[in-house]
């Protein structure tokens, strides 16, 4: 009986190892497919850029930064204008009340 039990345990352990190996292989294949999909999606290609193109690109970046700065300054002036308008309305309403008295 002991020999049959040992053979059965060997078969069971081999079956378990085979199943685990199969599952591990499936997981590895899925991971590899996922990684290659990501690599293809985010594939970076090297482009050669001449010095002239690089200078133009830098100029574009500088111009964009200058435009952003001017936009921020314009927003500040708009805020200041609206605050000055509200202050002038307040002062004008106060002077109208003084003249009525």
CB 49 within 8 A of CB 57: yes
> What would the pLDDT profile of 41-68 be if each residue is shown by its tens digit?
555 556 677 888 878 888 888 888 898 9
User: What local confidence, expressed as pLDDT, does residue 33 receive?
Assistant: 63
| pLDDT over threshold 90, residue 73 | yes
Residues 6+ apart with CB under 8 A from 60: none
pLDDT digits (tens, 9 = 90+) for 26-40: 766 666 666 665 555
């Amino acid at each position: 009986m002991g020999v049959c039990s040992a053979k059965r345990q060997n078969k069971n352990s081999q079956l378990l190892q085979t199943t685990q190996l199969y599952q591990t292989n499936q997981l590895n294949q899925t991971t590899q497919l996922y990684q290659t999909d990501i690599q293809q999606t985010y594939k970076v290609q090297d482009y050669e850029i001449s010095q002239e193109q690089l200078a133009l690109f830098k100029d574009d970046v500088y111009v964009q930064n200058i435009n952003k700065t001017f936009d921020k300054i314009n927003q500040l002036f708009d805020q200041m204008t609206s605050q000055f308008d509200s202050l002038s309305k307040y002062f004008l309403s106060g002077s109208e009340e003084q003249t009525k008295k």
